[in-house]
Amino acid sequence: MCRVFGMGKKNSSKTKYDLIFIDPPFNKNLIDNLLSNILRRGLLSENGKIYFEFEKKLDLKIPESLILKKKKSLGKKSYVLAEVTCLSS
């Protein structure tokens, strides 16, 4: 299943996703808020993963409920794959 959500769109179906891709516009400081909202809304399934891109210069703070699986940088971008370690209720 594939769905596209905007920042303001709610997950009214209560569907859980195994993998979420995030590629927000750079230089707008959106990634921290996006990650928090995904976790708060319970969009990921147990052991779900998030792949996201962000500007390399950003001081990213990974939420405690995510484990960093991979991080790569190329040019001005960083790429991260993180996995959920615990789901908040």
Measured over the CA atoms of residue 74, residue 58, residue 67 and residue 19, the dihedral's sign is negative
Residue with tokens 């995904």: 38
- Predicted confidence at residue 4, as pLDDT, reads 57
Per-domain residue ranges for the chain? Answer: 17-84
- Predicted confidence at residue 65, as pLDDT, reads 84
- Predicted confidence at residue 12, as pLDDT, reads 61
- Predicted confidence at residue 89, as pLDDT, reads 42
Q: Residue 86: pLDDT band by 50, 70, 90 thresholds?
A: low
Q: How far is CA 7 from CA 10, 41, 47, 76, in A?
A: 8, 12, 23, 24
Question: Spelled out in words, what is the top-level CATH class assigned to the domain 17-84?
Answer: alpha beta
Per-residue pLDDT tens digits for 12-71: 667 888 999 888 888 888 888 888 888 888 888 888 899 988 888 888 888 888 888 888
